Amino acid sequence: MSTQPPQPSASRNIDYPEIPLTQLDNGLQVLCVEAHHLPRVAILAALPVGRVSNPNNNFGLAQFTLETLKEGTKSRSSRVIAEQLDQLAIDFSTEIYMEHCLLSMTLLESNLKAALDLFADILLNPVFPEHELEKVKVRWHSHLVSERSDPGFLANERVFQELFPGHPYSRISFSLDHLSQLDREQAAHFHKSRFTCHGSLLLLAGSIDLEEAARQAEGALGQWNAGSPMELDSPHLKPSQSPAISLVHRPHSVQTNVLVGLRTLPQNHPQYIDLQMMSQVLGGGASARLFLNLREKRGFTYGVYSSIRGYSQGGVQLISCSVHNDKTGETLTEIYREMQGLQDDPPDSEELNRCKSEIVGSFIRGMETPSSIGSMELGRRMKQLPADYYGDFIPRVNSVTEQDVSETARRFLSPERASVVVVGERSEIEDQLKPFGAVGVYDTDGQRID
Amino acid sequence: MVISSIPRLKFTEHQLANGLKVILQENRRTPLVHLSLHYLIGSGYESKGRSGFAHLFEHMMFQGSRNLAKNEHGKLIDSAGGRWNASTNKDRTNYYETVPSHYLDLILWLEADRMEALNITPENFQNQRQTVIEEKKQSYDNRPYGTAFLRFDELAYENWAYAHSVIGSVEDLQEAKLEHAVEFHRRYYGPGNATLVITGDIVQTEVLDKIRDCFEGIPDNTNAQHPDLDEPQQLEEKLESMADPLAVLPAVIIGYHIPPMGSTDDYALAMAGLVLADGDSSRFYRRFVYENNWIAGLIAGSNHYRGPQLFRVWFQIQQDVSPAKILEAMEDELDRFKEAGITDAELEKARNQVAHRLVAQMERVSHVGELLAQYSSFFDDPNLANRQLERFLAVSKEQVQLAVQRYLLRENRTVIIVEPGASQ
């Protein structure tokens, strides 16, 4: 065996597939990712309803409505729905994002017709029975209480409040108070006005073609109310508040969660790809600068990562890690050093090429299953990204230069722009934070206590 | 449901002269190739005073080898656009990479390189010791219920092999020595104690030659001492309560001793688990959630050990409900199960769920690779991946009932009750 690693052979091309689309008479757009190698189909519906759709007096309504669709329809009780889902071995899930939501079912192809009927019934005919909603509210109460024991949740909640003050983007969850106000009427009204097929997409992925998908969709969802365009009542972003350190006091913590947040660009911005590259160089994985420094050199943490998310009006970059309590201050120093370092010391071609390969590799793995391609396509359309966003993705990644990365770093990565959140045992970490600026202290309920 | 339409995995099996088992499975849909390398070494092999060593050693496999410096291994795969990692459990340690298929030669070379020899410095050893201690905090000590999960096997198992945790104790990790790592590599990390599986965009005939080029020259010096996993029969219930200052809701964890993975009763109990706790129509969900709203979370099933397993049930309990009430209601449900068994509809439902999951497992080359590697290294029979469905379908209603009657007994269980709040 050679002492040098072998070179790659010739690569096989991979193209983002053409995803055909048709429209039903009611305006619903139906897409299909066809692949017959396994007898499995995914039904995915994306609706333009997200956390930003919540009214100002209740930040839980969209999620509550979405998640209680399966609590009963005009013809099926909650128990009957549960029984049918399990009997047909259907995995059903719902997910709410910032600006859209997703309902999905995966199943064996032989159950497609029955599954689609059930899917349509849940989506179109929910009745939100009072007695079921009361039970759901008890469970959600526990969920909302118990997410406050998770340091990662507490850090994210605080950082979004700091980055997007007063804007719907600032809310990643909601309060017990809002939960207690939720009721049947609100859910039913919200469903009627917002869960329409206008702007919604249905995608079938797997062992099916577009023609059959459209025929089946017409049968199940042809009666879906077209609705009317609904403006997202989303105020314009205000500047982030002056940077400060937020300390969330979580008693008895034996480790400290550090989260550094920065406001960035919306995902449809042409320079979003530069941001993605900059984040990858800084903290995209185990070969990135932050990981090699904080874990492999210093042993402060099990892992440290940087990631970005984009919305229609703006985006965020998040740098996160859980560190030894005594190393909280040093961790911040090193994160700042690496942020500054990327401005002064751009990646060389080897480092940049590695990061390009990482991004492209992850994109290719995302195309391995029909349903993962389907999710990418629905996300692209809901976020109104260009039609060639994925088709042209690999060349765009490869066109980013060292200079693009350092310019992006200079624009976004200065520590003065950062909102820093630290979650842990106050008595062990507060003094370490003081050199970095004023420290605001919060309890695990999100209330400022100091 | 047309269960016969579920495809079967086609693969070939080989063994090199030095003992390395090789399995190749071709699937050229996406230009991706997955490599999975299982070594039969896990925390179950550790002696007292060395807890956590198998996992700490897993970290060492990225810290330098005969031809590469620290972290170069991962960096080369990252530069290829691949994904890589490793994991250690009680029975085995696996290393894996998924890369664009034109990088197959690279990942074969990389695995052969670190199988042949490591080159770890004292600094790197110390660095990874600290990293693992932080990993323990992040995964257990700083999480609600994490301490209870670490405690559970200690209480349930009498045999040290499975009783101690994979992550180990901080005291033992502090005592770990670099020279132990050298000996550990020789004893366990050779071709005779390994299974190599390649799945995805490959041409089988070409790959075998490449594997020979990389691995055939590595001598087998392994001398794995496979642990005695025998567990004495438990004769009375074990019960502990603990306070968890990080938890906000009470929880109860229950574990029943059951036979090893792959046994007939294991399949019957897996079916029982589906009927009891899988999906919103399952018996536990109906009783504890729909009818009474007593719990906030529920998980049940075996812990997937090669040796004596536990059938575990985890309830996260609503604030004003007592754990005793949950245990009582669970006993009541199990009594009903033991007396009347399951219905035809429940059996059918469980079968459908199994069939769907088996198909779902075939979607990604990485899942197929891990499945084949596990059946090959544990049972020397990768074709069990294809026989799973028939093993499940062979389970009768009566067998499910008998398995529950036989194993899900009070005297055979261990219980940990977690109450929120600081200990007194």
- Tell me: the pLDDT tens digits for A36-80? 999 999 999 999 999 999 998 999 999 999 999 999 999 999 999
The C-alpha of A362 sits at a distance from chain B's nearest C-alpha, in angstroms, of: 7
Output the pLDDT for position A76. 98
Q: Which band of pLDDT confidence, cut at 50, 70 and 90, is reported for residue A11? A: confident
Note whether A360 contacts B359, CB cutoff 8 Å: no
Q: Which band of pLDDT confidence, cut at 50, 70 and 90, is reported for residue A10? A: confident
Instruction: Clarify whether residues A307 and A423 are in a common domain.
Output: yes
**How many Å apart are CA B389 and CA B9, to the nearest integer?**
12
Q: Which domain holds residue A163?
A: 21-221
The C-alpha of B235 sits at a distance from chain A's nearest C-alpha, in angstroms, of: 36
Note whether B78 contacts A287, CB cutoff 8 Å: yes
**Per-residue pLDDT tens for A132-176?**
999 999 999 999 999 999 999 999 999 999 999 989 999 999 999
Instruction: Clarify whether residues A182 and A51 are in a common domain.
Output: yes
Output the pLDDT for position B3. 65
Alpha-carbon A50 to chain mean position: 11
**CATH code for B3-215?**
3.30.830.10
Summary mean pLDDT of chain A: 95
Q: Which band of pLDDT confidence, cut at 50, 70 and 90, is reported for residue A233? A: low
C-alpha dist (Å) from residue A375 to A49, B95, B210: 16, 29, 37
Tell me what the mean pLDDT of segment A422-446 comes to.
96
Helices (H), ranges, B117-193:
122-136, 146-156, 160-163, 170-175, 178-188
**How many Å apart are CA A436 and CA A196, to the nearest integer?**
49
Domain count, chain A: 2
Instruction: Clarify whether residues A381 and A431 are in a common domain.
Output: yes
Q: Cβ contacts (< 8 Å) between B298 and chain A: which residues? A: none
Note whether B293 contacts A296, CB cutoff 8 Å: no
**Residue of A82, A146, A302 with shortest CB distance to B248:** A146
Superfamily of domain B238-420: Metalloenzyme, LuxS/M16 peptidase-like (3.30.830.10)
Q: Is the pLDDT of residue A243 over 80?
A: no
Tell me what the mean pLDDT of segment A405-428 comes to.
96
Output the pLDDT for position A228. 77
Instruction: Clarify whether residues A282 and A145 are in a common domain.
Output: no
C-alpha dist (Å) from residue A357 to A272, A350, A362, B29: 17, 11, 8, 21
Q: What is the gyration radius of the CA atoms in chain B, in angstroms?
A: 23
Answer whether residue A231 is part of any domain: no
Residues 6+ apart with CB under 8 A from A17: A33, A367, A373
Instruction: Clarify whether residues A202 and A140 are in a common domain.
Output: yes
- Are the CB atoms for B389 and B3 separated by under 8 Å? yes
Q: Is B70 on the interface with A (CB under 8 A)?
A: yes
Output the pLDDT for position B6. 82
Specify the range with the lowest mean pLDDT, choosing from A186-200, A229-243, A318-332, B282-296. Answer: A229-243
- The token duo for B109 is 């070379």
Q: Is B74 on the interface with A (CB under 8 A)?
A: yes
Answer whether residue A227 is part of any domain: no
Instruction: Clarify whether residues A160 and A249 are in a common domain.
Output: no
What one-character DSSP code corresponds to residue A206? E
**How many Å apart are CA B225 and CA B232, to the nearest integer?**
21
pTM of the predicted protein model: 0.96
Q: Is the pLDDT of residue A231 over 80?
A: no
Domain(s) of CATH 3.30.830.10: residues in chain B? 3-215, 238-420
- Are the CB atoms for B125 and A20 separated by under 8 Å? no
**How many Å apart are CA A433 and CA A423, to the nearest integer?**
12
Note whether B318 contacts A138, CB cutoff 8 Å: yes
Q: Residue B357's closest chain A neighbor by CA?
A: A89
One-letter amino acid at A46 equals A
**How many Å apart are CA B8 and CA B108, to the nearest integer?**
26
Note whether B78 contacts A364, CB cutoff 8 Å: no
Instruction: Clarify whether residues A308 and A362 are in a common domain.
Output: yes
Output the domain CATH number for residue A126. Answer: 3.30.830.10
Q: Cβ contacts (< 8 Å) between A300 and chain B: which residues? A: 130, 134
**How many Å apart are CA A245 and CA A225, to the nearest integer?**
48
Q: What angle do CA A265, A266, A269 make, to 5 degrees?
A: 85
Partners of residue B200 on adjacent β-strands: B26, B33
Greater model confidence, A13 or A129:
A129
Q: Mark which residues 369-398 of B lie under 8 Å from A by CB.
A: none
Tell me what the mean pLDDT of segment A250-271 comes to.
96
Instruction: Clarify whether residues A177 and A317 are in a common domain.
Output: no
Instruction: Clarify whether residues A310 and A419 are in a common domain.
Output: yes
- The token duo for A372 is 């993962």
Residues 6+ apart with CB under 8 A from B332: none
Q: What angle do CA A220, A69, A47 make, to 5 degrees?
A: 65
Note whether A364 contacts B81, CB cutoff 8 Å: yes
Output the pLDDT for position B422. 79
Q: Is B421 on the interface with A (CB under 8 A)?
A: no
Q: Cβ contacts (< 8 Å) between A364 and chain B: which residues? A: 30-32, 81, 100
**Residue of A12, A254, A369 with shortest CB distance to B137:** A254
Helix (H, G, I), strand (E, B) or coil at A324: strand
Q: Cβ contacts (< 8 Å) between B355 and chain A: which residues? A: 89, 108
Q: Is the pLDDT of residue A224 over 60?
A: yes
Q: Residue B200's closest chain A neighbor by CA?
A: A368
**How many Å apart are CA A315 and CA A306, to the nearest integer?**
13
The C-alpha of B169 sits at a distance from chain A's nearest C-alpha, in angstroms, of: 15
Note whether A106 contacts B360, CB cutoff 8 Å: yes
| pLDDT in 10s for each residue of chain B, 424 residues | 556 678 899 999 999 999 999 999 999 999 999 999 999 999 999 999 999 999 999 999 999 999 999 999 999 999 999 999 999 999 999 999 999 999 999 999 999 999 999 999 999 999 999 999 999 999 999 999 999 999 999 999 999 999 999 999 999 999 999 999 999 999 999 999 999 999 999 999 899 999 999 999 999 999 998 999 999 999 999 999 999 999 999 999 999 999 999 999 999 999 999 999 999 999 999 999 999 999 999 999 999 999 999 999 999 999 999 999 999 999 999 999 999 999 999 999 999 999 999 999 999 999 999 999 999 999 999 999 999 999 999 999 999 999 999 999 999 999 999 999 976 5
Note whether A292 contacts B71, CB cutoff 8 Å: yes
Q: Which band of pLDDT confidence, cut at 50, 70 and 90, is reported for residue A242? A: low
Output the pLDDT for position B368. 97
Instruction: Clarify whether residues A128 and A162 are in a common domain.
Output: yes
Answer whether residue A275 is part of any domain: yes
Q: Cβ contacts (< 8 Å) between B137 and chain A: which residues? A: 254-255, 322, 324
Instruction: Clarify whether residues A96 and A207 are in a common domain.
Output: yes
Instruction: Clarify whether residues A213 and A250 are in a common domain.
Output: no
Greater model confidence, A10 or B221:
B221
